[in-house]
Amino acid sequence: MRKLVWCSLMLAWASGVCAASEVNIHTVDDRAVADSYVEVTPRSSFNVYYDVALPSAPPPELSFSAHYFYVNGSYVAKRNTGATVVGVDWKIHHPAVLQLYTGETETLEVCIGDISNIADKPLQYCHAITLRGEVSLDTLSDLRVDVRTLNDGQDYEKCDSAYYCHFYADIFFARADPWVNDYRTSPDFPGAKGEPASAHINYLTFDFYYPNSAADGEIDSTAPKPLIVLGHSASKSKETFRLGSASILKFLLNLGYAVAVPDFRHPLKELDEFNNPLGKKDMAKLVQFLHYYAATLNIDPTKIVLTGNSLGGGVAVHSAYGELADPQSSDPVQQMTSRPSGVWVLDSTTVFSPNWIRENFLEAPVPGAPDSENAYLCYYPELDDGGNYHKYGYALGEVDTDSPYIGLSYMGHPADLSMGKLGVDDLLACPTITSPGNYDLIHLANYGEQMVLSYQAAGIGHRASTAFGQSITSYYYGLVGFINSLPP
């Protein structure tokens, strides 16, 4: 007979006794746990059943009088059980306060082995599982919205296309990990969990637009669609593309492409207390998600292209290199490749490293010269990676023989560095100094030239191309040709 013990991860645990060393979480939300993974009903509470068994040869100093519970690696609660009876088929209740949203992940861990310090956790016997808010056509339908019913203060009366009017909003593609920013100037909207716009709280979510005008942008079962990831610029948010940039959505959707518009973190502005970036490869995590749920979203996983301009392009570039796939992960999404089929960006950096940019593009400061003549102060002077170029992002150093096809377009032309590097007077803008020059250091076309050199050094020069003096219109028309030219 099953022993049912109700408890809350946030409250006190019910009484009971158990001595255990081996933990097995076997059902969650009445669904079997397979390979330590299970999807659960979004935005709901649910039960978790687990078994424990007496250890065969526990360390003599380790006692077993409680069950310990962790969420996302953080200790949550302890349930005292006593030490006289071995117990199996325990039940805990995962409360609504810890509800998961569609696509959102959480690691739940049940451990035994009494410890008094979290540093001793490696001594415990544990079972950790990955939970994800179920991603299916049914759960996605709950996220499908008509922009004209959002009541977010924006004017959508000009919505004249089913593609633009309807979309799937705020699908999580990774753990919540909220971050706050105060530098974005575009209209900000309540986040996926309902925070007020004034809070500027963001999550790793994306909006999904599907090309089905006959059914108001609803996912169908026709031939899988190429997928375009649109990255917003630094002062914007993913909502930008349904407002002032809606014409881009219409253009792509009318061509039969599905579109994912994510929020992501700025590698040089969203930092932890030690000035480490909170995220450099957020779009790579999205690519993994898209690969795993390609059938659900009805997209072609061989035609996933990262795009964006300015910051969005820079994050796209830095997300395209290296491989995040972890075959040992209990999360099947993290087992997927993070490599896209291609990258097509506008006015984008290929290096975020402040030190590399100063050393390669800017005149070195002259000892004793005033700050007004110090070009090094023109690029994130408060940040110093100490020569570890990869700290903030160094895509140039990650190119290998598996790197994707890439096209880099720029509105301007490369600076001629043959006679010397750029000084303050050469720069279009320098945040700390009045600068009258012509070269935009953030969007410098030389970044594209450097990427081509990296591809050539890897023996795959044919996969990288640059174009200068380009308009936004020519950039997006070029995207169509780029997608059509990608190998199967």
* DSSP state at residue 479: H
CA distance 199 to 309: 26
Element (H, E) at 457: helix 446-457
- What fold, for 139-352+392-410+445-485? Rossmann fold (3.40.50)
Predicted local confidence at residue 453, as pLDDT = 98
Within 72-113, strands assigned E span: 74-80, 90-94, 105-112
Helix (H, G, I), strand (E, B) or coil at 4: coil
Query: Taking Cα atoms as reference points, which of 104, 105, 123 lies closest to residue 113?
Result: 123
Predicted local confidence at residue 460, as pLDDT = 98
Predicted local confidence at residue 84, as pLDDT = 44
pTM above 0.85, yes or no: yes
Please report the DSSP string for 36-65 in residue order: TEEEE-TT--EEEEEEEE--SS--TT----
Predicted local confidence at residue 147, as pLDDT = 84
- In single-letter form, the type of residue at position 214 comes to A
Query: Taking Cα atoms as reference points, which of 385, 135, 162 lies closest to residue 274?
Result: 385
Predicted local confidence at residue 11, as pLDDT = 34
Question: Cβ neighbours of residue 78 under 8 Å, at least 6 residues apart?
Answer: 13, 66, 67, 68, 69
Predicted local confidence at residue 7, as pLDDT = 39
Provide CATH code, domain 22-134: 2.60.40.10
Count of CA atoms in the C-beta half-sphere (13 A) of 215: 9
Q: Where are the domains of the chain?
A: 22-134, 139-352+392-410+445-485
CA distance 226 to 228: 7
Predicted local confidence at residue 432, as pLDDT = 67
pLDDT in tens, the chain (488 residues): 233 333 344 333 333 333 445 899 999 999 999 999 999 999 999 999 998 887 888 888 888 889 999 999 999 999 888 664 455 678 889 988 888 999 999 999 999 999 999 999 999 999 999 999 999 999 999 999 988 887 766 777 667 665 668 999 999 998 867 777 666 655 555 555 555 555 557 789 999 999 998 898 999 999 999 999 999 988 788 888 887 677 898 899 999 999 999 999 999 998 889 999 999 999 999 999 999 999 999 999 999 999 999 999 999 999 999 999 999 999 999 999 999 999 999 999 999 999 999 999 999 999 998 888 899 999 999 999 999 999 999 999 999 999 999 999 999 999 999 989 999 999 988 876 766 788 999 999 999 999 999 999 999 999 999 999 999 999 999 999 999 999 98
